[in-house]
Homo-oligomer: A and B are copies of this chain.
Amino acid sequence: MEIKTYLTDQRQVVENALHSFALAAEGPFSRHIEAMRYSLFVGGKRIRPILCLAAGAAIRDNEETRNNLLPVACALECIHTYSLIHDDLPAMDDDALRRGKPTNHMLFGEAGAILAGDSLLTWAFDLLTDPAYGSLSVGQRLAITHIIARASGPLGMVGGQSLDIACENREFPFETLQTIHRCKTGSLITCAVQAGAIGAGATETQTGALIHYGNLIGLAFQIVDDLLNATSNTAELGKAAGSDLAHGKATYPAYFGIEGTREKALEAIEGAKAALTGFDAKAEPLRALADYIYTRTC
């Protein structure tokens, strides 16, 4: 399959859905909603929502499944976007650029950016639990909301980010780097795949295989992120290149060198594709996405 066409099409599907769900910047909170919308629509690969939809399609490739998963996919993107807004804050990574554009606090101020992040996170749970969208059973909706909350919180994404910051400019064992990667980036990626499986009515065996796939592409994704940060320039990356080194952050290249890191990423990708052995052609996009994660340049 042609991954570039697939990604372009799927991004458009996600973009349309985000536009259909997102709050309009009107009423007494228009400026606040504008700040939420700015970061949500400033660009992005939309990898998490695409993975969620692709995991669902690997089980049941029809319009009902897709429509049921679109609010879930968009909620995942809102959570990802909020995490970027907060990560970029002066008190955190202090980044002025993201996706080649000014970060949220550069335009809306620190208070505005903190609140825009808070609202994107909260609104994601509003979207996930809104009976107005799709025809998921209440059981599916609740299960999906629960795994997303678990993956995004203190034992998942935020926990990983807190450890990442705590470890800046410090020596720490490789196991700690793995924990940071698994939680900060991996948990939401795995969860996107798992949510797609639940929403499409996957069996336990299918869900288990998809979680395994998710864990491995999540790992590969973060390893490639480390690589890009070390080897790209700022224009290619759309954010400050070399910032990991500048912040004294340990990364895969610091442990394994550039070539060794590439091998680790490839290993994870091969493992991810192997996890899909039991799936038919409907999982082709998931296989192509795994390859894309390895070859992407930004």
Q: Which residues of A contact B (CB under 8 A)?
A: 23, 28-29, 31-33, 36, 86, 89, 91-92, 109-112, 114-115, 117-119, 121-123, 125-126, 128-131, 138-139, 141-142, 145-146, 149-150, 152-155, 158-159, 161-163, 165-166, 176, 179, 183
Contacts and interface: CB of A to CB of B under 8 A. Distances in A.
B129 A33 contact: no
B119 A159 contact: yes
Contact of A146 (B130, B150, B154, B159): B130
Contact of A118 (B121, B131, B179): B121
A121 B123 CA distance: 12
Nearest to A139: B138
A119 to B, nearest CB: 4
A31 B166 contact: yes
17 contacts: A28-B163, A28-B176, A28-B179, A29-B154, A29-B159, A31-B162, A91-B91, A91-B110, A111-B165, A119-B153, A119-B154, A119-B159, A119-B162, A121-B121, A122-B154, A125-B149, A129-B145
A183 B118 CA distance: 15
Contacts of A158: 32, 115, 118-119, 122
B115 A162 contact: yes
A197 B92 CA distance: 41
B159 A28 contact: yes
A115 B82 CA distance: 12
Interface centre among A36, A150, A154 (most CB of B within 10 A): A154
A292 B23 CA distance: 37
A291 to B, nearest CB: 31
B29 A118 contact: no
Contact of A129 (B130, B142, B155, B161): B142
Contacts of A146: 126, 129-131
A84 to B, nearest CB: 12
Interface centre among A122, A138, A155 (most CB of B within 10 A): A122
Given A123-B153, A131-B142, A138-B139, 19 more contacts: A29-B155, A29-B159, A29-B183, A91-B91, A92-B111, A111-B165, A112-B165, A115-B161, A118-B158, A119-B159, A121-B122, A122-B149, A122-B152, A123-B154, A125-B153, A129-B142, A129-B145, A129-B149, A142-B142
A149 B163 contact: no
A128 B92 CA distance: 29
A154 B89 contact: no
A65 to B, nearest CB: 20
Interface centre among A92, A118, A152 (most CB of B within 10 A): A118
Nearest to A146: B129
A226 to B, nearest CB: 19
Nearest to A156: B122
Contacts of A86: 114-115, 118
